[in-house]
Structure 1
Amino acid sequence: MDPDLLRTARVMRFLGVPAEVHDSLGSTNDEAFRRAQEGAPEGLVVLAGHQTSGKGRLGRTWFDEPGQSLMFSILLKPPIPLHSYPLLSLALASSIAWAAADIASEITIKWPNDVLHRGKKLSGVLAESRALRPGEPPVLVLGAGVNVNYHPRDFPREFRESATSLCIASGEGHVEMGWLFSGILMHFVRELDAAYGGGPGALLERLRPQLPEPGTRVRIALADRAVEGELLELTETGALRVRDRASGLVETLTAGVME
C-alpha cells in the first residue's frame, strides 16, 4: 500500500475516525453507499489510493494517478431538510480550502463546490444522496478528490491549463496527505457542528463569507445557456439567487458552473 495512504490511515485511527482504506476502488462514493446499506455508522470515511471509475459533477470523470491524490468519501445522515443537503457539499469544499490554505496561499472556492488556486482547479466535491430503506431519510455521501502531489508534467495535456495541485501551489516537493486530511476533517467537523446544532441557517452564515459578496457580477454556465448578472445571495438550499442582467428577472440556480 502507498506509504502516504498508510500514514493517512494511521492519522484516522489516532483521531478515532471510522475509516476504511483501499489501494484501489472503482468509486469511493459507491463503496460508501454499499457500506451504508450494510449498516455502517455515520461518519464512516472511505479512502482510496486510486479510483478506476472516479466520478465528478455533471457526469464527468475524475482523473487521478495512483498515490498522487487524496480521494475520499464521507457517509452522513444529516438531521436537516433534504433540500439543504447541498450546503454540506459546499461546507466540505470550504473545509478543504481552509486546510489547503495552511499549505499554500491564494486558495479560493468556486460555487457550487470547487476549490481553486489562482483560478486552477485543486479539488472538487460530488454529493450524492440515496434512500436505502422505505420510510428512512436518505443518506448523504460526500466524495472529494484533492490534487496533492502532482507536478506539472504529471497532468495530461488537456488538464495542464485548468488543473493544479497543492505540491505546485505551495512550491513544496511533497505534501503530507495524512496531516492535510486531518486538517480537512477538523474544519469539516466545525461546519457539521453548526449545521447539526443550529440548522441550515447557522451553516449558511459560516459559508456566505467564502463566496463573492452580494452585488458582485457573476456568470453561471448552465447546461443549455448562461446567466450573467448580479449575485443576490446564497440560500439555505445551497442555491444562488442571481438577477439576470438582460431580463432583470431573479433566477434561483441550483446547478451550473460559476465562471
Structure 2
Amino acid sequence: MTSDPAVRPPLDKSRLTGIGSDEIPDVTIEVVETAASTNALAVRRAQEGAADGHVVVAEHQTAGRGRLDRTWETPPGTALTFSMVLRPVVPTRSWPWLPLLTGYAVGKALKAQGYDAGVKWPNDVLIGDKKVAGILIERIETRDGPAAVVGVGLNVGMRTDELPVPTATSLAIEAGDAGPDRTEVLLSVLSTLREAYDAWQAGGDHTGLRLAESYADACVTVGQDVRVDLPDGSVLTGRATRVDPGGRLVVDGPDGPTPVAAGDVVHVRPLDQ
C-alpha cells in the first residue's frame, strides 16, 4: 500500500511535542515514525514510569491490536493511531467506565468537528452504521501502581479501497474530500478525552451518574435490536434498553432484562423511528 505525501502530510511533530499546559493540561506527546503497536509501546513507557497523560502516537502502526487479538495495518498517513497512559485514582469499581468514557470522548470530539458520530456499546465509534474508530484499553501493573493504557485507532484519510472491512469508514469518505489534518484531529480528541477523564476523576459518584447519562445519549446501541456474542460462547438476542450505572448494557431478552459486561454486539436492525 502506498500514500502520496503531498496529499497525506505527516503529523506536525514540533507542534505535538511542544504542546503546552495552556492547550491541553497534563498531556505530553511522544511521536514515533513506526510502531508495531502504540499500546505495546505505551505499556513499556508506563512500566518505565511515564506519568499520567503521556501519549505515544505513531505515524505508521504496522500491527495494531484490537479486542480478541485482532490485528491490522493501515496505509501510512491515513489514520491516527495513539495510546495514552493513565493512572486513575478513582475506586476500582469505577474502572469499567474508562473504555466507555473514551468512546464517548472520541465521538464527542468528532461531533464538534461536524461528523454525525455515535458510540456502539461499549466503545466503537460509528458514523452512521459504519465504524470510524476502535478503542482498546489495557490495565497493567507498574512499580508506581496500576495504570491504564488507552489505545485509539481512528480512520482519517483512507479511501474506500483502503478500508480494512466493508463495514468501516473514514473521515475523508464521510466528508467527501481528502480528510481533515491529522494533527488538528489528534489535538481535538486528546483535549476532549483529557477533559472528560479529569471530570470523571474529580467528581465522584455524582459525576459518574452524569457520565452515564451523557454516554447513554451518545450510545446508538440503546433502542436497537441486538445480538451479543458473549465471552462464554453463548449468544444473547433482544433489545438493548439502557446502560446501567456500572456501564453494562441491559438487553431485554428471552429471560427478561440481562446486564452484559462484555461481549461483541451486532446491531440487528436500525433504530425504530
Q: How far has the Cα of 1:116 moved from its partner?
A: 1.1
Distance 2:222 2:111 in 1: 24
> Does residue 170 in structure 1 map to residue 179 in structure 2?
no
Answer 1 or 2: higher relative contact order, Cα 8 Å, separation at least 6.
Answer: 1
> Does residue 179 in structure 1 map to residue 189 in structure 2?
no
Q: How far has the Cα of 1:215 moved from its partner?
A: 5.9
Structure richer in strand, relative to its length: 2
| SS in structure 2 at match of 1:139 | strand
Unaligned runs of 5+ in 1: none
Distance 2:28 2:264 in 1: 33
Q: How far has the Cα of 1:257 moved from its partner?
A: 2.2
Q: How far has the Cα of 1:219 moved from its partner?
A: 3.0
Q: Percent identity?
A: 35
1:2-56 deviations in Å (ceiling 9; x for gaps): 7744316514523443111111012111111111111111000000011222101
The farther-off stretch of 105-114 and 7-16 is: 7-16
**1:14 corresponds to which residue?**
19
Distance 2:10 2:93 in 1: 34
Is the 2:17–2:31 contact (alpha carbons within 8 Å) kept by the matching residues of 1? no
Distance 1:8 1:119 in 2: 33
The farther-off stretch of 31-40 and 121-130 is: 31-40
Provide the TM-score with structure 2 as the length reference: 0.83
**2:146 corresponds to which residue?**
138
**1:194 corresponds to which residue?**
199
**1:24 corresponds to which residue?**
34
Provide the TM-score with structure 1 as the length reference: 0.87
Is the 1:43–1:75 contact (alpha carbons within 8 Å) kept by the matching residues of 2? yes
Kindly report the root-mean-square deviation, in angstroms, between the aligned alpha carbons of the 2 structures: 2.3
Is the 1:234–1:240 contact (alpha carbons within 8 Å) kept by the matching residues of 2? yes
**1:107 corresponds to which residue?**
117
Q: How far has the Cα of 1:236 moved from its partner?
A: 3.9
> Does residue 66 in structure 1 map to residue 73 in structure 2?
no
> Does residue 208 in structure 1 map to residue 208 in structure 2?
no
Is the 1:115–1:121 contact (alpha carbons within 8 Å) kept by the matching residues of 2? yes
CA 1:97 to 1:213, structure 2 compared with 1: closer, same or farther past 3 Å? Answer: closer
**1:227 corresponds to which residue?**
236
Give the alignment partner of residue 258 of structure 1, picking from 243, 265, 271.
Answer: 265
The equivalences for 1:73-112 within 5 A come to: 73-112=83-122
Q: How far has the Cα of 1:104 moved from its partner?
A: 4.5
| SS in structure 2 at match of 1:79 | coil
Structure richer in helix, relative to its length: 1
Unaligned runs of 5+ in 2: 22-26, 267-273
